[in-house]
Amino acid sequence: MPQYQVVGDPGIPGVSIGDILQQPQEDVPYQDLNSPTIYIAADFVENNPDLFQLVS
């Protein structure tokens, strides 16, 4: 599953720079592994490279 790292402030309370986001499975939102109650829309993560950087 792809992982993204937060590199900018997305304006979502609880999400911090350096957090790792992972999609638990295909076609579901990304989960913040550092704050696992937070889920973020897939296209929001994948289409904002200034905020989220693909790490794996």
The secondary element (H helix, E strand) that includes residue 22 is strand 20-22
Nearer to another protein, 41 or 55 (CB): 41
- Site map for another protein, 10-49, x if CB under 8 A? xxxxxx-------x---xxx-x---x-xxxxxxxx-----
Verify binding: residue 5, another protein, rule CB under 8 A.
no
Q: Identify whether the C-beta of residue 21 lies closer than 8 Å to the C-beta of residue 45.
A: yes
Cα–Cα distance for residue pair 44/21, rounded to 1 Å: 12
Name the site residues for another protein (rule: CB under 8 A).
10-15, 23, 27-29, 31, 35, 37-44
